[in-house]
């Protein structure tokens, strides 16, 4: 798929780290599957992945910690 930002290059599948914040809470998720543009460096996460990341942030922030780090797993939230 062509990069939607620069329209200069085809995006490639890569794993990236995503940082989610919610108030004071901060969650780092590594190994998130994404499409990254080799030209401008912009990365896209698929909607289903984005939804999982949000659920994860909600679950982790409910634990009462301020900072958390996880490895992304595709089947972690059903």
Q: Is 12 in the site for Zn ion (CB under 5 A)?
A: no
Q: Is 34 in the site for Zn ion (CB under 5 A)?
A: no
Number of residues that bind Zn ion (CB under 5 A): 6
CB of 17 to Zn ion, least distance (A): 19
Contacts to Zn ion from residues 37-66, by CB under 5 A = 37, 39-40
Residue from 34, 22, 21 nearest 74 by CA: 34
SS3 of residue 17 by DSSP: strand
Distance, in Å, from the CA atom of 16 to the CA atom of 66, rounded to the nearest integer, reads 22
Residues that bind Zn ion (CB under 5 A): 3, 5-6, 37, 39-40
């Amino acid at each position: 798929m062509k990069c939607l930002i620069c329209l200069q290059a085809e995006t490639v599948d890569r794993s990236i780290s995503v940082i989610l914040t919610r108030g004071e809470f901060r969650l780092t998720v590594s190994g998130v599957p994404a499409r990254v543009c080799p030209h401008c460096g912009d990365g896209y996460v698929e909607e289903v992945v984005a939804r999982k990341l949000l659920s994860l942030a909600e679950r982790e922030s409910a634990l009462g910690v301020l900072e958390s780090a996880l490895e992304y797993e595709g089947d972690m939230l059903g």
